[in-house]
Amino acid sequence: MITEDSLSENHEKEPINHEVSNEQTAENPTATMTETPSETLDAAVEEPKETENIEEAPAEIQPTVEEKESSEKPDTAKEAETKAVAAEKTAENEEEEHHEEQAEDLSHLSLPEILSLMETLINKEDAGAHFRKFNQLKEQANHLIHDQTEDLKSEFVAAGNPVELFSHQHPSQAKLSALLNIYREKNAEYHRKQEENHHINLEHRQRIIENLKNLYTNTQAGTNLFKAIREIKEEWKNAGQVAKSEFKLLNNNYFHHLNQFYQMLDMNKEYMEQEFAHNLEKRQHIIERAKELQQEPSVQKALNELQYLHKLWKEEAEPVAEEFREKTWDEFKEISNKIHDRKSELTEQIEKEQNDNLVRKNEIIAEIQKMAEATKEINHNYWQNAIKKVEALRSEFLRLGNVPRKVSNQNWNDFKEHLRNFNVKKNEFYKGLKNSQQTNLDEKLKLIASAKDNMLSEEWEVVVPLFKKLQEDWKKIGHVPRSMTNKVWDDFREACNTFFNNYREKNNTANDNWKENFKSKKLLLDELKEIGNEEGSVEKIEQIKSKWNNIGKVPREKITINTEFNKVLRDKLKLNKIHEYDLKEEGLSENQVTDKARKIKNQIADLEAEIVKMENNIGFFSNASRENPLLKATYQKIDDKKAQLESMKQSLHSILIGENQ
């Protein structure tokens, strides 16, 4: 049950009529600042020291002469001190219980998210004040690293490897160690600053006590005592924390002088009535808000706000007139007890949520098991879709939260087991797929070798059907490893093009004046070399390129002129800051148009992959906004590449519909 004594040091019931001396502190030599944490970081990061936030305890205004006759005798100083100690212990216990209740559930967070949270805590100015949360994150990170390493070890052993050969350095271990080292430095700096602040706050509070003493010993005429005492009490409340070893003496001295001030105002009944009325109004507001909390759907929210209301009651609603003192407190205490009685509702709510989480987690495990044990239509597309679904289910599983404690370990082990089985089945499939792709690659390499052996042959009646047969066989062969796809296709196409170009050239020799074509191309090449980056250069380049496309073939021994022309063209385009796909060309043959479109498609694919890679790299930063000075240059590169990508897509579209010819 909540009692009024547990909320204050009972200064309201008994004024301290003597100044506390330093000798009194010897009665409590065990009051220290430092609490040793039950768990520490790997290199014994020191937990931040406890400090005492001096709360303004109530001080009773001394009654007038008439009221003294009917008032009860105050408690002795010894009884007041005993109650104050009990209040301190109760407050500490409540603070510890509240801290336990506020412990966060980190089981739904992934390892990168936990490391990001640790980095966020380190970047805070008061990083040392978040020791318990940082330590909890560190323990969860170590737990995840251990589980992931064990999973890899299990897969390694399941593949038939000896367990003693397993060696793995987790990629996140180095970052975790770096974060711990940085936090140790931040924690030490925090302790140093905390001690400095305690010293400054102690001197500040001692000055406040001196001002309070002067207020009733050396008051000047015309001083607004009501305003002055309000300012002193407000300044005391906001003065900041001091070391716990200084707290009791400092706090008792303050309330001693505060009571002395109220005694000086003994005859000022108007002031007392104003003070009482002001505090009574605050108590009534607090009581009304507490009544509203009885209907609050969230029990945890109601308990948290009730704790804040009790803090307001101690700090801002003391003292009140005798006739309202017990009455208002009893009413507030009764409402508080009713709200605390709702803790059973919170327990039921938590149990229901945990049971719901268990049902959904079991459904997720069943879905993963079903996908791993599927036997029909198992192909590449199936596994790609299954991988995406399993990743979504895994994220949902980790996000759901706790399940009942008695089944928690079993549920987690079932999830890991079926997830591991899924990965084993997936790896087995792709291992077999890799073998079949290697077989396809070997067959295509045989076709390439045959094409290269016959690409210069002029036995048309035999070789033309052979090349058609090679092309048909190529289409029937399945996929090859992705890393070899473009290379084998380019080699095969080059051999086929070489043969068919030679075939057409032989058939059209009578109609082509190759030597004249070479002379014309040589003139165009010389003209291209003279172009700079002056105005109109791009138009000249387009004209030269169009003329070049309309010129026929050149003698075989002079074919290197095409390579030289392309090299000079690239240099001129770079000089004029324009891409080849932006040129408007005329006279392109169907094959030339197709080849140009293919090149642009390949460039578009490469550029899209580069943009995705840069955007993924940005995602590893905890602050990935454009305002981050470290990322401004990267964002600018991404914007430039996206603009280039859009231009390439427009050029490709123009080529496909025939506008860029």
DSSP of 544-555: HHHHHHHS----
What string of H, E and C letters represents the secondary structure of 112-172?
Answer: HHHHHHHHHHHHCCCHHHHHHHHHHHHHHHHHHHHHHHHHHHHHHHHCCCCHHHCCCCCCC
Residue 118 and residue 181 in contact, taking contact as beta carbons nearer than 8 Å: no
> In terms of C-beta density within 10 A (0-12 exposed, 13-18 middle, 19 or more buried), how is residue 464 classed?
middle
Q: Quick one: which H or E segment has residue 20? A: none
Strand partners, 52: 242
> In terms of C-beta density within 10 A (0-12 exposed, 13-18 middle, 19 or more buried), how is residue 532 classed?
exposed
DSSP 8-class letter at 219: P
pLDDT at 286: 92
- Structure-block tokens of residue 648: 């390439």
Q: Quick one: which H or E segment has residue 42? A: none
Residue 250 and residue 53 in contact, taking contact as beta carbons nearer than 8 Å: no
> In terms of C-beta density within 10 A (0-12 exposed, 13-18 middle, 19 or more buried), how is residue 61 classed?
buried
H-helix segments, 460-558 = 460-476, 482-507, 514-529, 537-550
Please report, for residues 127, 207, 439, 442, 609, the alpha-carbon distance to residue 481 in angstroms, rounded to integers and kept in the order given.
50, 80, 10, 11, 18
Residue 572 and residue 541 in contact, taking contact as beta carbons nearer than 8 Å: yes
pLDDT at 90: 41
Distance CA 433, CA 426 (A): 11
Long-range contacts of 464-470 (CB under 8 A, 24+ apart): 464/503, 467/496, 467/499, 467/500, 470/496
Neighbours of 624 (CB within 10 A): 15
* Helix 405-454 with 380-400: angle, nearest 10 deg: 150
pLDDT at 203: 92
- Structure-block tokens of residue 482: 């992705």
Q: Which residues of the chain have pLDDT under 70?
A: 1-104, 221-222, 266-269, 377, 507-513, 580-589, 658-661
Give 484-534 pLDDT, tens digit per residue. 888 888 888 888 988 888 877 776 654 456 778 888 888 888 888 888 888
Question: Side chain identity at 584, as an amino acid letter?
Answer: K
pLDDT at 588: 65
Strand partners, 243: 51
Strand partners, 242: 52
Distance CA 299, CA 346 (A): 6
So where are the chain's domains? Answer: 4-94+105-157+169-267, 588-661
Distance CA 361, CA 269 (A): 68
Strand partners, 51: 243
Closest CA to 17 of 208, 260, 215, 211: 260
pLDDT at 2: 39
Distance CA 405, CA 118 (A): 27
DSSP of 315-372: HHS----HHHHHHHHHHHHHHHHHHHHTHHHHHHHHHHHHHHHHHHHHHHHHHHHHHH
Query: How many helical (H) and strand (E) elements, i.e. helices and strands, does the chain have?
Result: 20, 2
Distance CA 545, CA 586 (A): 8
pLDDT at 207: 92
Long-range contacts of 511-519 (CB under 8 A, 24+ apart): 512/552, 512/553, 513/552, 514/552, 514/553, 514/554, 514/555, 514/558, 515/554, 515/555, 517/551, 517/552, 517/553, 517/554, 518/554, 518/555, 518/558, 518/561
| β strands within 384-461, DSSP E | none
DSSP 8-class letter at 479: -
Closest CA to 541 of 518, 566, 560: 566
Distance CA 281, CA 434 (A): 80
Ramachandran assignment for 464, one of left (phi > 0), alpha (psi -120 to 50 degrees), beta (any other): alpha
Say if residue 319 is preceded by a cis peptide, omega within 30 of 0. yes
Closest CA to 400 of 100, 133, 116, 109: 109
pLDDT at 268: 61
Give residue 584's Cα distance to chain centre. 48
